Amino acid sequence: MKQTAAVRPATPRQRAARAARNGGEPTLEFADRVPYDAYVRASTLHRLQQPLSDDPGEMSFLMVSQIMELYFGLTCHELRHAQRELRADRIWEALPPLRRAALHLEGLNAAWQGLRWMTPADFNRFRDRLGEGSGFQSAMYRHLEFLLGLRDPALIRPFRRQTEVYAELTAALAAPSLWDDVTALLARRGFDLPAELLDRDVTTEHESHPAVEAAWVRIYADGGPDNHLRLLGEALTEVAERFADWRWHHVKAVQRTMGAKVGSGGSAGLAWLQRSMARVVFPELWSARTAM
């Protein structure tokens, strides 16, 4: 990992010596930039808020949106880590990043609490300033959806003139989703899955398949402690459930702040969000429970 000039590694012995020199008090003098700021880039983060109006409530809306963007990126980071482990048949090693992803999604959901104060009147004081800006246009959220198997090629079109972002989204759409990797893993573990499922066009959204459902029924029938596939199923279920929670909170936040008005980005707003919730993440993990 690249180190910035002001972040210098320290050993336990060096930390103990520094504490002894300081008499247990924190260090107050540095030759360069404060190490915390050099690592976290806090001063940079706090300069990224540029409200478009004088309304004091807009800062909450803007900063919570930025916090959510960071959580989108962090969750994607964890899911990609899990994918690498699953592709190498390391199920046990895939569990920690999946569990972290579920916890990050809890943090993402908690961010909605910072907007519970917003009424339609509050939002309307600065909404017009946003123009056509909409959360629908979040590229990192699209990355998250693609990783979870929710795929609609049309949704990358808004980014065509942002060439780097568009290239990254195109690559993400062309790569297998986490669920595609899980399905491939099941096939390698001996479950009878048809070739047309394993060789399908991954740019299209996965449709629930009875063979995948049957595989999960068999997996959950073994309740032993060494059944890592069942542990994988539960970790994936947590991710899917927390993501579904976020989508539900999004619907409720829209209802609270703007009712059924049309969306800023040109959609039908609430109605469009409600329809999108019908797309289920990891569908066979849920349908298999009926047969368990």
Provide the pLDDT for residue 5: 60
Provide the pLDDT for residue 251: 87
- Domain assignment present for 55: no
Token pair of 117 as six digits: 């104060």
Provide the pLDDT for residue 262: 67
Provide the pLDDT for residue 156: 92
Q: How far apart are CA 177 and CA 216, in angstroms?
A: 18
* 250 appears as a binding residue in the annotation: yes
Residue 175: which CATH number? 1.20.58.480
- Per-residue confidence band for 4, with pLDDT thresholds at 50, 70 and 90: low
pLDDT per residue as tens digits for the range 265-287: 556 567 766 777 778 999 999 99
Q: Looking at 131-145, 177-191, 259-273, which range is the least confident one?
A: 259-273
- Domain assignment present for 220: yes
The length of the chain, given as a count of residues: 292
Q: How many domains does the chain have?
A: 1
- Domain assignment present for 43: no
The stretch 11-34 carries a mean pLDDT of: 90
- Domain assignment present for 202: yes
Q: Name the H helices within 46-90.
A: 58-87
- Domain assignment present for 171: yes
* Domain interval for residue 272: 68-291
- Domain assignment present for 156: yes
Buried b (16+ CB within 10 A) or exposed e, 169-200: beebbeebbbbbbbbbbbbeeebebeeebeeb
The stretch 150-172 carries a mean pLDDT of: 94
Q: Which of 74, 8, 67 is nearest to 38 (CA)?
A: 8
Q: Per-residue pLDDT for 94 more than 70?
A: yes
* Side-chain half-sphere CA neighbours of 1 within 13 A: 6
* 127 appears as a binding residue in the annotation: yes
Alpha-carbon dihedral sign for residues 9, 11, 16, 20: negative
The stretch 177-193 carries a mean pLDDT of: 97
CB neighbourhood size of 100 (10 A): 19
pLDDT per residue as tens digits for the range 28-75: 888 888 889 999 999 999 999 999 999 999 999 999 999 999 999 999
Q: How far apart are CA 180 and CA 148, in angstroms?
A: 9
Q: Looking at 14-23, 128-137, 168-177, 212-221, which range is the least confident one?
A: 128-137
Enter the pTM of the model: 0.92
- Domain assignment present for 123: yes
- Domain assignment present for 54: no
Q: How far apart are CA 101 and CA 238, in angstroms?
A: 9
Mean pLDDT of the chain: 91
Q: How far apart are CA 129 and CA 62, in angstroms?
A: 12
Provide the pLDDT for residue 66: 96
Q: How far apart are CA 59 and CA 51, in angstroms?
A: 6
Backbone angles phi, psi at 236, to 5 degrees: -65, -35
Provide the pLDDT for residue 276: 75
